[in-house]
Amino acid sequence: MFRQGIGTFAAAALAVLLAGCSIDDSGPVRSVWRPPDAKSAYLNVIYLTDREADAKAPGGFGSNWADAPSCGTAQAVVPVAMLSGEKPQYGYVAQTWPRACATDKEMFGGVMALIQEQTKARHCRSVFLYIHGFHTGFDGGVLRAAQLSHDAQTGCAVVTFSWSAQIDLGRYMTDLEHSAYAEPLLSELLREFAESNLRVTILAHSVGDRMVLATLSGLARSRFPVRQGFIDELVLAAADVGIEKDNDDFAHLLHDAAPYVRRTTIYASAGDGVLLISKEAHGGVPRAGREPLADLKYRADDKTHIVDVIDASDVPADILDHSYYAMSYEAVADMTLALAGVPTQDRMIAKNGWPPTLINKDGPDPRYGLAAGQGRQPRLISRILVTLIPVIPFIQ
């Protein structure tokens, strides 16, 4: 009875604290940096989505699954980081320009043509792909891709794969269904990336990590395998993938994906409240993105495929500390170097005016952690919520 009473109180507290608050990519998007002119950044993001068109929805696409892809370019406006006391500014999708997805020869030839246009205009040969997690609208996926590309200085062509996630915290299981429906489209997109001569970098978040790993695993078993090593850098942030003892899905998927990826960087936070909820929803199976210590066993350095593990537990982010990868300047600073191919050991020392982004959290065999700024740490309320989540009865 006492536990039930505590659970009811915790559920009510969580509901009040999260009321009107977005904890993921569909929420307010801003840069983590503030340039001297304090001007917003305008970026064109190429999109591929399986959402239904909806003229009333931000960006022109709603949450329903369309069972058919739509493609084009969206202009994202990303405000600068706020100062204390300033009136909030929010990112938005200013306009979109649809483009046919397919050409006579390729399922996503239209997308590849848009990528070629961006790379030619910017005199570079690379593409950055962002795959969002659950509870994310079309505009959230576009804006987060733009913010990450801008803040992490990825340059060149920017693409978001916006699958039909719902904008509702209570629709997690629906999101898992829809993420599976989108994997065949992601598979075709990655296949065309592999056939290009572009440098490919990918950043996936939460359920998006599961999607990209499962898709690469599928390609490994295809009758028509793709070119190995076509992904230079794969960043897995807050991976919502099970690491159950003796039934380790994450280990299997990493193994299957390894031939296609030169280096994988795993970011995990022990304070991730969303992945704690996911653990409860999956019958108590731990999630890779919440177990930085357990993830150390996945580290590898066989010269052809590297796996690095970064502990992100000590930096602040959103109220449930799930979106630190984009909302913490410490994480963004480190990902800037990771996506550029800088080794972890080099990120522990100041170089060319760039401060260290990693610290050694252990001893001679380093356990890398994000270097938190002075006075920076996860908020007390975030830690309280993580304590309350396991006793909330509606999770069972």
Per-residue DSSP letters for 84-137? TTPPP---EEEEEEEE-S--SS-TTHHHHHHHHHHHHHHT--EEEEEE--SS--
Q: Tell me if 108 sits within 8 A of 48, measured CB to CB.
A: yes
How many structural domains does the chain have? 1
Q: How far apart are CA 198 and CA 230, in angstroms?
A: 8
Q: How far apart are CA 190 and CA 195, in angstroms?
A: 9
Burial class (CB in 10 A: 0-12, 13-18, 19+), 67: exposed
Count the Cβ atoms, other than its own, within 10 Å of residue 199: 17
Query: To 10 degrees, the CA torsion angle through 109, 146, 376, 11?
Result: -80
Give me the CATH number covering residue 217: 3.40.50.1820
pLDDT for 381 equals: 60
166 contact partners, CB below 8 Å, separation of at least 6? 63, 134, 135, 174, 175, 178
Amino acid residing at 101: C
Q: Which two tokens stand for residue 225?
A: 């395998």
Q: Which domain holds residue 183?
A: 2-395
Count the Cβ atoms, other than its own, within 10 Å of residue 100: 13
Alpha carbons within 13 angstroms on the beta-carbon side of residue 112 total 19
Q: Which two tokens stand for residue 24?
A: 């993921």
Give the relative orientation of helices 249-257 and 207-220 as an angle to the nearest 10 degrees: 50
Of how many residues is the chain composed? 396
34 contact partners, CB below 8 Å, separation of at least 6? 80, 81, 83
pLDDT for 352 equals: 82
Q: How far apart are CA 247 and CA 286, in angstroms?
A: 11
pTM (2 d.p.): 0.91
Q: Tell me if 93 sits within 8 A of 57, measured CB to CB.
A: no
3-state helix, strand, coil in the chain (%, to 5): 40, 25, 40
Region at 183 (left for phi over 0; alpha for psi -120 to 50; beta for the rest): alpha
pLDDT tens for the chain, 396 residues: list them.
444 444 444 444 444 444 434 444 446 899 999 999 999 999 999 999 999 999 999 999 999 999 999 999 999 999 999 998 999 899 999 999 999 999 998 999 999 999 999 999 999 999 999 999 999 999 999 999 999 999 999 989 999 999 999 988 788 899 999 999 999 999 999 999 999 999 999 999 999 999 999 999 999 999 998 999 999 999 999 999 999 999 999 999 999 999 999 999 999 999 998 898 899 889 999 999 999 999 999 999 887 899 999 999 989 888 888 999 999 999 999 999 999 999 999 999 998 888 999 999 876 677 999 998 877 877 666 566 666 566 454 333
Question: 199 to each of 134, 183, 319, 392, how far by Cα in Å?
Answer: 27, 22, 35, 45
Q: How far apart are CA 120 and CA 118, in angstroms?
A: 5
